[in-house]
């Protein structure tokens, strides 16, 4: 199934796609209150996704509206948490141009992003006023379906409700400046994340899950031009199960939690420049970014106008990082080798 959060004009509601129509999940499952997004469905009980599937099969549908007549929102309007990992070696090493720490290979590393600035499909994403180098990051995310602690990798798939596309917008100048302190990204990742266009339930992509990895091709277009095409998500160094295990250990995961996999190989602008994509540059107002992932759909966003900077703002980046050398990795081809 494809679970969505949609708005037909009276506010957000949880829905499920059936061909080219959106079936209202609140009515479908007979909920006693409006389920305003997919997170509300997941929080209703641990078997919520199964109940939707059974109700859909039993009834053949329910109250619905044409997909073309609704606005799709982020499937999760305000996730409890967003943990973003970095599990693709090509991205982590910038096409082999830098060495990664031993810890990166030993365990999946993540940071916490901002659940208060989440955008959905076809939204306009504001251009941060303090930034000069706005980047996209082409990622996948798994969505937690039930609460857990100390979950093993072997049991992890039981906790994943489904998968979606995740765009981790990044202000590279701010990120580079503050990362020098060693505390991890903050304002460089604070302004926006985009999720969608829907959550594809785990059973629907089960045939694409092999050795704990999702075997799908990932592409990104900017203004209609491919800046990365058919990046292979099956070559992640760490598995989806290991992300769940690491996130939940000595801690807690909850329905609606987002676990991003990190940027797929070639899935950021610096990598596109390094690989010699002639159009590649940092994003500008009006740019349309389209992420196309096999089995998960297309996630589109437009970059909004950049507001005038506040001359009294005290915390811009000290300097702009140098651009990667264009074409320096034009012949690079990643091959997964486990240490």
Cα separation values, 84 from 169, 198, 223, 325, Å = 12, 18, 26, 27
Which one, of 256, 231, 241, 237, lies nearest residue 209 by Cα? 241
pTM: 0.97
pLDDT, residue 60, reads 79
Domain borders along the chain are: 2-73, 82-303
Name the architecture of domain 82-303: Alpha-Beta Complex (3.90)
Region 288-316: what's the mean pLDDT? 96
CA distances, 210 to each of 38, 201, 216 (Å): 26, 16, 11
Tell me the pLDDT tens digit for each residue of 239-282.
999 999 999 999 999 999 999 999 999 999 999 999 999 999 99
Instruction: Using alpha carbons, list the distances in angstroms from residue 63 to 25, 37, 53, 60, 153.
Output: 9, 16, 15, 11, 39
Looking at residue 250, what is its pLDDT?
A: 98
CA-closest candidate to residue 4, choices 29, 34, 39, 31? 39
How does DSSP assign 251-310, residue by residue? S-B-TT-EEE--PPTT-BHHHHHHTT-TT-----TT-EEEEEETTTEEEEEEEPPPPPP-
pLDDT at 35 over 90: yes
Q: Position of tokens 């059936």?
A: 18
Q: Residue 204 and residue 227: Cα distance in Å, rounded?
A: 28
């Amino acid at each position: 199934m494809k679970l969505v959060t949609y708005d037909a004009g009276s506010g957000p509601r949880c829905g499920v796609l059936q061909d080219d129509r959106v079936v209202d999940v609140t009515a479908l499952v007979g909920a006693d209150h409006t389920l305003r997004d997919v997170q509300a469905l997941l929080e209703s009980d641990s078997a919520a996704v199964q109940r939707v599937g059974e109700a859909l099969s039993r009834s053949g549908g329910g109250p619905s509206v044409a997909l073309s007549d609704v606005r799709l929102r982020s499937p999760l309007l305000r996730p409890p948490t967003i943990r973003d990992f970095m599990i693709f070696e090509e991205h982590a090493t910038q096409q082999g141009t830098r060495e990664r720490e031993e810890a990166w290979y030993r365990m999946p590393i993540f940071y916490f992003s901002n659940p208060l600035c989440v955008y959905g499909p076809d939204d306009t994403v504001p251009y941060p006023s303090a930034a000069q180098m706005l980047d996209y990051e082409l990622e996948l995310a798994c969505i937690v379906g039930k609460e857990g602690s100390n979950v093993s990798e072997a049991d992890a798939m039981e906790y994943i409700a489904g998968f979606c596309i995740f765009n981790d917008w990044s202000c590279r100048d701010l990120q580079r400046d503050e990362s020098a302190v060693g505390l991890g990204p903050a304002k460089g990742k604070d302004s926006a994340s985009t999720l969608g266009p829907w959550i594809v339930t785990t059973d629907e992509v089960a045939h694409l899950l092999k050795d704990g990895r999702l075997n799908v091709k990932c592409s990104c277009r900017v203004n209609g031009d491919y800046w990365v095409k058919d990046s292979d998500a099956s070559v992640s160094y760490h598995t989806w199960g290991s992300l769940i295990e690491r996130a939940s250990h000595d801690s807690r995961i909850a329905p609606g939690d987002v676990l991003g996999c990190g940027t797929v190989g070639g899935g950021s602008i610096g990598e596109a420049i390094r690989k010699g994509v002639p159009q590649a540059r940092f994003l500008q107002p009006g740019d349309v970014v389209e992420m196309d992932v096999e089995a998960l759909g297309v996630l589109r966003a437009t970059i909004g106008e950049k507001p005038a900077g506040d001359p009294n703002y005290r915390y811009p980046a000290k300097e702009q990082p140098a651009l990667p050398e264009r074409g320096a990795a034009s012949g690079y081809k990643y091959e997964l080798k486990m240490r």
